[in-house]
Chain A
Amino acid sequence: MSVKRFLAEKADGILLSWVDQREMMARFELDCAAAEELILQGGYLPARYQRNQQMISTAQQLQLFQSTVAVVGCGGLGGYILEELARLGVGQIVAIDPDTFEEHNLNRQLLSTIELLGTSKADAAVKRIAEINPAVSVSAINAAFSQENGSELLDGAVLAVDAVDNIPTRLELAEICGQLNIPLVHGAIAGWYGQVMTVSPGDGSMQKLYANWSGGKGIEAGLGNPSFTPAVAASLQVAEVCKVLLGQGRDLNKRMLSINLLDMQFDEIPL
C-alpha cells in the first residue's frame, strides 16, 4: 500500500489521528518528523493540530513544520516559548542555554522540576518536547550565545527568539541576526513588567531600545520575576513568531509593547 492510499484510507476528513500516524511510521519505516511532513504535504493534518485549523491552514501548518527557530535562553521566557513553539508545530527548534537548573528557578521556569535541579536547561527542552510533540526536532546547545559562536549557533534558523537574561547578550544577538539577515523576536521581563518587540534584520531597534545602557542589569536585579510575567511575555513573543513565519497580521516592528501587569497597562513605544 502506498503512503497516499494509507492516508486516504485512515484519515477522518483531513485529520489523521496519532494512532494512525504511529501505524504509518511503523508500516513505512518513517521517523515521526518524516511521517508528519508526508501527512502535511498530502494535504492532511495530524489531529493534534485540529484546533489550529481556524487560524492556520494545512499549507501554513506545513510551513511552520518546515521552519527552524532558534530560542536563545531556556529559562523563564525560554521555557514557555519552547513549549508553545512545539505545540504550535514549528518543526525544528534550536534550544540554547549554558545553565543548569537551580532552586530559585522553580518559581517560574516551566522546564524546571525538582528532579531536574542541577541538570542542563537545554537538555530539559529536548526531553519535554519529545513528550509533547515528537514530530519536532530539537537540538540542545549547552553553551552561552556570544559574538564568537553566534553565527554558527543560528545557522539554518529562519528566526531567532530572544529569551536571554542580560542586556549585552541581547545586543550581540541583534547584531548577529542582522548579519544573518533573520528577524529577532525580543522579550524581556522584570517583576510585574515586561516588553516585547520584533526586530527586522539590522533595523537598529534593539540598539535604540538599550541606547542608555551603560553596563549591569536592568530593574530585574531588584524586582526578580514571578511565575506569570514570563508566561505573558513569552506568549506574546510566540504570537509574533507565528505571524512573522506565516507573514500574517501586523507585528511589533519598530514599536515596543511595554507591559505593566500591576496596573494592567499596555503601552506602545515607537522605535
Chain B
Amino acid sequence: MQVNVKLFASFQTGRFKQEFRDYPDQTQIGTVVRELNIPEEEVGILLLNAVHAKLDQPLSDGDLLAIFPLVGGG
C-alpha cells in the first residue's frame, strides 16, 4: 500500500517534506516513525487524514499521514 507522508519542522531535516511511501498492509504509524528514525519521544501531533491519531493506529492505502514534532520552548 502507498501512504502519503508529510513531515513538519525539524523532522524534514535530512529526510523529506512530503513523499509517497510503500508499506505492507496494516503497517502502524509507529512503524513509519521508527523507519524514518524519528525518536518517538519527539513526536507531537500525528494527523491521519486530518484527524488526530496515535502511534499504534494501522494505516490504509492512500492515507495521508502528517507528523509534527513536540515544540515546548519559550
Write the residues of chain B forming the contact surface with A, with a CB cutoff of 8 angstroms.
8-10, 41-47, 50, 52, 54-55, 68-74
Contacts and interface: CB of A to CB of B under 8 A. Distances in A.
A107 interface: no
Interface of A: 73, 75-78, 162-167, 170, 187-195, 208-220, 222-223, 225, 230, 256, 258, 260, 267, 269-271
B9 A165 contact: no
A215 B41 contact: yes
Contacts of B72: 165-167, 170, 188, 190, 217-218, 220
B43 A212 contact: yes
Nearest to A76: B74
A220 B8 contact: no
Contacts of B45: 209, 211-212, 256, 269
Contacts of B70: 167, 210, 212-213, 218-219
B71 A163 contact: no
Nearest to B47: A269
Nearest to B43: A212
Contacts of B42: 218-219
Contact of A189 (B8, B10, B55, B71): B71
A63 to B, nearest CB: 28
15 contacts: A78-B74, A188-B71, A188-B72, A188-B74, A189-B71, A192-B9, A193-B10, A208-B52, A209-B45, A212-B55, A217-B72, A218-B69, A225-B73, A258-B8, A269-B47
